[in-house]
Amino acid sequence: MISLKPNVSIFNNFIISKIILSADYILHSTKEHLFITSGNDGKHSDSSLHYQNRAIDIRLPKDPTPFIVKLNNVLGANYTILREPDHIHIEYDVV
Taking the model in full, what pTM does it have? 0.90
Q: What pLDDT digit, counting tens, does each position of 42-80 carry?
A: 777 777 888 788 999 999 999 999 999 999 999 999 999
Q: Are 34 and 23 in contact (CB under 8 A)?
A: yes
Helix, strand or coil for residue 78?
A: coil
Where does the pLDDT of residue 94 fall: very low under 50, low under 70, confident under 90, or very high at 90 and above? confident
User: What is the Cα–Cα distance from 95 to 87, expressed in whole angstroms?
Assistant: 24
How many H-runs (helices) and E-runs (strands) does the chain carry? 2, 5
Comparing 86 with 94, the larger pLDDT belongs to 86
**What is the rounded average pLDDT for all residues in the chain?**
91
Query: In this predicted structure, what is the pLDDT of residue 95?
Result: 64
